[in-house]
Structure 1
Amino acid sequence: MVHGQHSRIPALALVADAVAVVVFAALGRLSHDEPGDLVGLLGTAAPFLVGLAAAWATPWVRARPLDLRSGGLALAGTAVLGLLLRAAFTGRLPASFAIVASVSLAVLFLGWRAIALLVSRRRDREMR
């Protein structure tokens, strides 16, 4: 891999995680017939984006952004802090929402990393 491409991986991984959070928020709003406006979408995603920023502040996630363990750490920070902030904003945190949010974010965060890992391994085999 060319050095320039390698140096872009953390930024691209952060963008992929942020897109995952926005997709999660958009799907949640859609499933509850919430308006599709940008302000509402960002308001829904905001607590989880703050959690994502906190998770990405850890050296482990930044150093190994494609690693599934890093994905798990990014997921944990995003979900836990996002749920706590959302509860602080709304005054409630239904257990059903916490479960659905955690599972949905897990599928999105770990899913893209698993696909990237499979593609990378396949490419490595083809280059040999």
Structure 2
Amino acid sequence: MRSYTPVLALAADLLCVLVFVVVGKADHATGLAPAAVAATAWPFVAALALGWVVTLAWRSPGRIWPTGVLVWAVTIVGAMPLRLLSGEGAPLSFVLVTSLFLAATMLGWRAVALPLSRRKRQKVS
């Protein structure tokens, strides 16, 4: 699925992470100042970047499998230890909510983009 540039796909994944952080901070009333958002987001952003690098996601950024699933998995598995190292908690309930939200959004945008991309290619052909 080449119709989605890697930059747009990375931006979409980053947006998923940032929406998760902002919604969580707003829901728990822990402050939405940019520094507060950044302090909560950095483990997820770092793990997302790692996920993109280890999966070579730029080769097929819009694919659900394996790209989306593996980037999502690395983001979750990588972010939790970073949260713990930074003094934040990672109780099971948080890990589950994080996993479900990021799966729905990171895989969801790919699921929506896939048929749109195919339709666009069919019109061009």
CA RMSD in angstroms, aligned pairs only: 1.8
Deviant stretches of 4+, over 4 Å = none
Q: 1:16 aligns with which of 1, 4, 12?
A: 12
Q: Which residue in 1 is equivalent to 2:31?
A: 35
Tell me the number of residue pairs that the alignment of Structure 1 and Structure 2 aligns.
Answer: 123
Aligned equivalents of 1:98, 1:117: Cα separation in 2: 28
Identity %: 35
Q: Which residue in 1 is equivalent to 2:94?
A: 97
8 Å contact kept, 1:61–1:73: no
Aligned to 2:86, the other structure's residue is in SS state helix
What pairs with 1:61-100 in structure 2 (closer than 5 Å)? 61-69=57-65, 70-90=67-87, 92-100=89-97
**Normalising by structure 2, what TM-score?**
0.89
Worse overlay, 104-113 or 8-17: 8-17
8 Å contact kept, 1:75–1:109: yes
- CA distance 1:15–1:91, change in 2 (3 Å): closer
**Normalising by structure 1, what TM-score?**
0.87
Q: Deviations over 1:22-61 (max 9, x none)?
A: 1110011011011110110111110000001101112531
Aligned to 1:58, the other structure's residue is in SS state helix
Aligned equivalents of 2:88, 2:69: Cα separation in 1: 27
Runs of 5+ unmatched residues, structure 1: none
Runs of 5+ unmatched residues, structure 2: none
Aligned equivalents of 2:46, 2:89: Cα separation in 1: 18
Q: Which has the bigger relative contact order, CA under 8 A and spacing at least 6?
A: 2
Aligned equivalents of 1:35, 1:93: Cα separation in 2: 19
Q: Which residue in 2 is equivalent to 1:45?
A: 41
